[in-house]
Amino acid sequence: MSDLAADLMDRLTNAFEAARDPVRAVGAAAYMRDQFPFLGLTSAVRRAQARMALKGLPAPGEADLRAVALACWAREEREFQLFACDYLTRHITIPGPAFLDTTAELITTRSWWDTVDPLATHVVAGLVRRHPPLTARMDEWATEENMWLVRTAILHQLLYGPATDTGRLFAYCTAQAGHRDFFVRKAIGWALRHYARTDPQAVRAFLTAHADHMSPLSVREAAKHL
């Protein structure tokens, strides 16, 4: 672990432990189906404690980002992984295209929507935007066995707006229209609904052409504001 990562993790541990709320932790774990233990920090408290821990530290390099992310992923309490998502998002202009491999490791480890979605819509999204050849990796992820990589491929353009590669978005949704998992079917609807803010006619036409092959959940979510 780099010196910066070690220092940050020590500070973060002390800051988070000082704000621990055992009662809230029980409810937070239950909300996540008891898959992860929590310290019981609200998002506001977690981010405030993180700001204290980061105060005075230099900007990280790519190796620091990887070290911090993996160290957070090694911790049991979910707040550490949520911090890592924020930290990577804040510094997304630093890593090169090879950092996508690190992101894939995070997406497929301790996987749940609360970390996968920010990694998809901010970290992966930022990497692909800055390094366009990575779109080929998104094509691969869109047909992966791992449902979280599929969800990431579908959602990575969520905030692109007019810059969305519509052909890719629609192709990913078509390829996974019959996916067995709720989280993929939900992602299809979410991605289409969001893109409808930019081009409602394109989404309406897509649903007209493909609704018979899509799950009711995906169609319902996609058409919610049309």
Residue 1 clears pLDDT 80, i.e. is over it: no
The SS3 assignment for 152 reads: helix
Band of residue 38 on the pLDDT scale cut at 50, 70, 90:
very high
Contact indicator for 38, 29 with CB cutoff of 8 Å: yes
* pTM reported for the whole predicted model: 0.96
What structural domains does the chain harbor? Answer: 1-95 (1.25.10.90), 108-226 (1.25.10.90)
User: Average pLDDT for residues 53-78, to the nearest whole number?
Assistant: 98
Per-residue pLDDT tens over the stretch 157-184: 999 999 999 999 999 999 999 999 999 9
pLDDT of residue 225: 86
pLDDT of residue 191: 98
pLDDT of residue 2: 82
Q: At what angle do helices 147-155 and 182-195 cross, to 10 degrees?
A: 0
User: Average pLDDT for residues 64-93, to the nearest whole number?
Assistant: 98
Per-residue pLDDT tens over the stretch 181-200: 999 999 999 999 999 999 99
Percent of the chain past pLDDT 90, that is, above it, reads: 98
Burial letters 84-114, b for 16+ CB under 10 A, else e: bbebbeebbeebeeebbebbbebbeebbeee
Per-residue pLDDT tens over the stretch 96-146: 999 999 999 999 999 999 999 999 999 999 999 999 999 999 999 999 999
Residue 154 clears pLDDT 90, i.e. is over it: yes
